[in-house]
Amino acid sequence: EKAKAAVPKYLPAPPVDLNDPSTLKVLSSIFAAQFEEVAPDAILPASIIKRCDNPKFGDFQCSAAMPAFASLKNSGKPMPPGINGPPQLAQAVIDSLGKDHPVVQDLRLQGPGFIMCKITPAYLQRQVQSILDQKCLPKPNVKPVTCLVDFSSPNIAKEMHVGHLRSTIIGESVCRILEFTGCKVERVNHVGDWGTQFGMLIQYLKEEYPDFADNTPNITDLTAFYKNAKAKFDEDADFKKASQLNVGKLQSGDEEYMAIWKLLCDVSRMEFQKVYDRLDVTVYEYGESFYNAMIPPVIEEFEKAGKLSIEEGGAKCVWVEKFPIPLMLQKSDGGFGYDSTDMAALKYRLHTVKAQRIIVITDFSQGDHFAMCNQAAKDIGWVDNGQQLQHIGFGTVQGEDGKRFKTRSGDTVRLVDLLDEAVSRMEASLNERIDQGKANISKEEVHEVAEAIGYGAVKYFDLRRNPTSNYKFSYDAMLDTKGDTAVYLLYARVRFESIMAKAKTEHSVDVEDLIKNGEKIVIDHESERKLALQLASFTDVMEATLDDLFPYHICDFVYQLSIAASDFVTQCRVLGSPEMNSRLLLCYVTTMAMQQCFDLLGIRKVKRI
């Protein structure tokens, strides 16, 4: 009865469930219940717990006393005896929680009424043991839905550039994060495979390779092909005219033109695939052309709804409130463009794929475009309650000089070259380590390990920051063995792994056997407690990640984890100590958790370095 009455007064007022993997939720429910005990008439806001900014003061802080006291005062209800300000209220809550609470300890009043607290080793032990028993970090408690992630999405006949690299790396990680929570994810490559540029490319191919039908031309360098075609298009009026006529032929499905178009797409596709193979990226092509037939009915739908406005020259447009330019569903010459395709794609994704969450990942400059598309879809009633549309707009990649990222000769950087460079630098550094006798791998293994670390380093360098920020591309920074890099993290993981290997060879203790025999983790030393605290924060980190889908939350988590773990193995002797078994298990959970984070970020496994 008491719990029922509490609902309208307390937010949250859930029962305390110590099995909930979210430390924030457990703490919120504990403190909410205690405030209810001390001041039954007070009202609490939804969020009352957060991590302490400074770990010196504690692990978490509760900020409920201030709003709770204010709510009592405003309601005119009688104050509980002895309470005349938030500090007294907070102190009363601290006193009523007592000294031997199963979850919180070292409770302290601070400032105008904050309650600082630490988490008990006993509670953390239980959390970490559960990770060990499940052999998996806890999955957040969310309803799995169908998601669609539109990422990578390069353009045919144009080189993939660093922007596409960002989209590819972020997109792959977003897919993995959603899949981890049990969501079904449609990985969509919205390749730019249609449009007026094909008229020009076809014309150029016909002129330069007249026997292309019998002799498939070997155009490995499509960028050069594109550049040359464009140069001719700009210089030669006849060429330009022929190109424009080609567009119409292609759009009407002319067999010869379709064949050339397909040939050009195939060449590009093979180039894109080289990047995807290097980066372990899986994405399925639904290029712009896939939506061609869906465009006219969409325009008709807007027309019937009275939402189409005919602009000067006859272009068919849709205005969206607050935007200075409309979406153009059909150009004045009758052609369809980027907006037309994206509206058709959106309808298909909402109604045919029935995706509950649609995420498009491009550079930030397309933010308005997607905001308009999404709003137009809502305005016409395509979006169901609960269907979520999101655009992740990332910042620019700059060279070390702070200008746009280019090669020394001023060309755009080819992604394949960029990735190869990361690998060859890593190879050099690994070979050096081998020569110095510092490495645990043979020369034959260098390439494979260098690939894992090199690609991992490029990915992590991008993923570890808020995607909306710009960054300077720097091999030296991303391949640094110290600091917040994949190189450091992979080395750290291998180091913990090697402690377990030594236990086996030098002490005949096999961690897998310890697990089989039901050996338990004991949290005692402060550095063990800190490590366990970090491990136990995973669910809260994951929940934050699911909100904005920024993989940097996971990067922060794994970086802090590796710092806590390094501190643990420095402060606590593992091998040969009386606590060896428990500590080995803690190493095991740590390496497993790190590996899971690497999987979420798309970073390959490295067994030895």
Tell whether the torsion through CA atoms of 95, 100, 103 and 108 is positive or negative.
Answer: positive
The nearest distance, CB 127 to ligand ARG, in angstroms, is 40
The nearest distance, CB 258 to ligand ARG, in angstroms, is 21
The nearest distance, CB 288 to ligand ARG, in angstroms, is 8
Cβ pair 171, 149 in contact under 8 A: yes
CB nearer to ligand ARG: give 137 or 360: 360
Please state, in angstroms and rounded to a whole number, the distance separating the CA atoms of residues 32 and 38.
10
Q: Which residues, including other chains, have CB under 8 Å from residue 547's CB and lie 6 or more apart? A: none
CB nearer to ligand ARG: give 35 or 226: 226
The nearest distance, CB 223 to ligand ARG, in angstroms, is 14
CB nearer to ligand ARG: give 23 or 155: 155
The nearest distance, CB 508 to ligand ARG, in angstroms, is 56
The nearest distance, CB 159 to ligand ARG, in angstroms, is 11
CB nearer to ligand ARG: give 172 or 342: 342
CB nearer to ligand ARG: give 33 or 156: 156
Q: Report helix angle 255-279 to 222-235, nearest 10.
A: 140
β-pairing, 146-150 vs 357-363, is: parallel
CB nearer to ligand ARG: give 93 or 156: 156
Q: What is the phi/psi pair of residue 39, to 5°?
A: -135, 80
b (16+ CB within 10 A) / e for 58-77: bbbbbbbbbbbbebbeeeee
How is residue 73 written in tokens? 């005062």
Please state, in angstroms and rounded to a whole number, the distance separating the CA atoms of residues 593 and 533.
13
CB nearer to ligand ARG: give 389 or 453: 389
The nearest distance, CB 304 to ligand ARG, in angstroms, is 24
Please state, in angstroms and rounded to a whole number, the distance separating the CA atoms of residues 501 and 486.
22
Cα–Cα separations (whole angstroms), residue 367 to 338, 373, 419: 14, 10, 28
The DSSP output letter for 152 is: -
The nearest distance, CB 110 to ligand ARG, in angstroms, is 49
The nearest distance, CB 198 to ligand ARG, in angstroms, is 14
Q: How would DSSP label each residue in 249-285?
A: HHHTT-HHHHHHHHHHHHHHHHHHHHHHHHHT---EE
Please state, in angstroms and rounded to a whole number, the distance separating the CA atoms of residues 57 and 62.
12
Q: Which of helix, strand or coil describes residue 106?
A: strand
CB nearer to ligand ARG: give 173 or 340: 340
CB nearer to ligand ARG: give 232 or 369: 369
Q: Which residues bind ligand ARG (CB under 6 A)?
A: 150, 153-155, 190, 192, 342, 345, 360, 362
β-pairing, 284-285 vs 388-394, is: unpaired
